[in-house]
Amino acid sequence: MITDFKNLYSRDLTRLKTEIALYNDEKSLWLVDKGIANSAGNLCLHLIGNLNAYIGAGLAKTGYERYRDLEFSQKNTPQKELIKMIEDTMRVVEMGLNSMSENQLQEDFPVVIWDKPTEMGYTLIHLLTHLNYHLGQINYHRRLLSVAD
């Protein structure tokens, strides 16, 4: 199961990196429009913060400190910097998942995210679906708001 998690997180973080790289105009990353509350850049920062806060600090023991408000208020981070941050996050996620054994999937996740402890496997599935949810939003954002060549 851990191998499956590694493959799925790697696949979807690679897709995130590809989506961010596909923006042909860096300014488009930060656009919002009616009915679209968050830019692709902010969603990307949010995913990076989320995975580093939970898998990074929780499993890889990176000591990462999250500033969630900045994930949605920070603007105009260069595209190349976002891509590097995704690549760094990929390494952190791999390190965190490599630190686990199959038996730990039934244990509590080391960070309480909601009101009470949750099982490791459940939490890793939740974090993966959260990544996918926002990845889909970024894909749609790019196709709707990205400036054409």
CA distances to 41, 51, 101, 117 from 3, rounded to whole Å, are 29, 18, 10, 24
pTM of the model: 0.95
Q: What is the pLDDT of residue 145?
A: 85
Tokens of 55: 């898998």
**CA distances from residue 140 to 94, 113, 129, 146 in whole angstroms, order as listed:** 27, 28, 17, 10
What pLDDT score was predicted for residue 57?
97
User: In this predicted model, what pLDDT tens digit does every residue of 96-135 receive, in sequence order?
Assistant: 999 999 999 999 999 999 999 999 999 999 999 999 999 9
Which pLDDT score, from 0 to 100, does residue 105 have? 93
- CA 103 to chain centroid: 25
The predicted pLDDT at position 146 comes to 77
The structure tokens listed for 120 are 């490791």
52-107 pLDDT, tens digit each: 999 999 999 999 999 999 999 999 999 999 999 999 999 999 999 999 999 999 99
* pLDDT tens column, 12-67: 999 999 999 999 989 999 999 988 999 999 999 999 999 999 999 999 999 999 99
Are 63 and 143 contacting, i.e. CB atoms less than 8 angstroms apart? no
Query: Looking at the predicted structure, is the pLDDT value of residue 149 above 90?
Result: no
Q: Name the DSSP class of 103.
A: G
